[in-house]
Amino acid sequence: MEYKNIIFDVKDGIGYVTMNRPKALNALNTEVLTELDDVFRAIDKNDDVQVVIVTGEGRSFIAGADIAQMSDLNGTEGRDMTIQGQLVMELIETINKPVIAAVNGFALGGGNELAMACDIRIASEKAKFGQPEVNLGIIPGYGGTQRLPRLVGKGMAKKLIYSAEMIDAQEAYRIGLVQEVVPAEELIARAEELAKTIMSKAPIAIKMAKVAINNGLQTDLKTGVQFEAEAYTSTFVSEDRVEGMKAFVEKRPAEFKNK
Ligand code: CO8
């Protein structure tokens, strides 16, 4: 598929998805969502990509769903656009490799929801976060009412969603919405450094850690630890587990082969 609103590159094991609709502050319309769906399905199957970095071109990460497009939709079409976006967020959340959001600017509404579907969020000190949907007479519709309380707790999520207040990167860090804040000019370098650290580990271990954490968060503790035991066993029977432990005993770096 040819992309008009995103740029996709692969370099040294990292897949870069750059939102590229800067005139509309990278707002998500149905065409952008279709492109994101296509690129993340391709990334999931692409052995050249081990970690993904998502960022935005210009001064915005993603300023939300496209309000101009939404304003013309009837109820059924609005529901379709919500479901389309929810499925894209679920795809990003569940692909079998880590996704780092490098949040360069506005992450509002659907933009914050996309960042929350990523595994890890690193923010530029210029980034701004918020769920401003109630200003428009709607609520978050790309999973925000569900992922935000899971990340920052019920009270803080309600405060942000009810008030539509925009918060800066430091506040997003304080409440646990983002994991790091860095100077704007260091954003991509820091995301790449983290990606390289992850890439130096056993790929199956990273994959299974993601599955165990994601599945566990959707269930009770007892079921969660059962998921963990199954995911753990998948790592334990791998060649990379034998290599990792052998390398430790032999006091040398491990050479993982993704087997
Ligand atoms: N949709 C469409 N266009 C947008 C959006 C958006 N979300 N955000 C910005 N733009 C456009 C502006 O219209 C403007 O276009 P133009 O130059 O043609 O007039 C351009 O981007 C630049 O924006 P501004 O001039 O407004 O720039 P400012 O620096 O003054 O302000 C803000 C930046 C604060 C980010 C401001 O643009 C803003 O408030 N944007 C809207 C943010 C918002 O409300 N986002 C939430 C949208 S709702 C949502 O995401 C729901 C998700 C679930 C949807 C379910 C589907 C039905």
CA 121 – ligand 1 centroid, Å: 21
- Closest residue (by CA) to atom 32 of ligand 1? 63
User: Tens digit of pLDDT per residue, the chain (259 long)?
Assistant: 999 999 999 999 999 999 999 999 999 999 999 999 999 999 999 999 999 999 999 999 999 999 999 999 999 999 999 999 999 999 999 999 999 999 999 999 999 999 999 999 999 999 999 999 999 999 999 999 999 999 999 999 999 999 999 999 999 999 999 999 999 999 999 999 999 999 999 999 999 999 999 999 999 999 999 999 999 999 999 999 999 999 999 999 999 998 8
Residue 258: its pLDDT value, please?
86
Does 113 participate in catalysis according to the annotation? yes
State the residue for tokens 């659907």. Answer: 110
Determine the distance separating the centroid of ligand 1 and the alpha carbon of 64, expressed in angstroms.
7
Q: 70 CB under 6 A from ligand 1?
A: yes
Alpha helices, DSSP H only, in the chain?
Answer: 30-45, 67-70, 75-94, 110-117, 144-152, 154-163, 169-174, 187-199, 203-216, 221-236, 239-249
Distances (CA, A) of 238 to 60, 233, 242: 42, 9, 7
Ligand 1 touching residue 141 (CB < 6 A): yes
Cα 199 to ligand 1 centre (Å): 35
Give the atom of ligand 1 at the shortest distance from the alpha carbon of 141: 53
- Gap from CA of 7 to ligand 1 centroid (Å): 21
Closest C-alpha to ligand 1, atom 6? 66
- 230 counts as catalytic: no
Q: Does the CB atom of residue 105 touch ligand 1 within 6 A? A: no
Residue keyed to tokens 């087997």: 259
Which residue pairs from 214-220 have beta carbons closer than 8 angstroms and sit at least 24 positions apart in sequence? 214/93, 214/94, 217/150
Q: How many residues does the chain have?
A: 259
The residue nearest atom 39 of ligand 1, judged by CA position, is 63
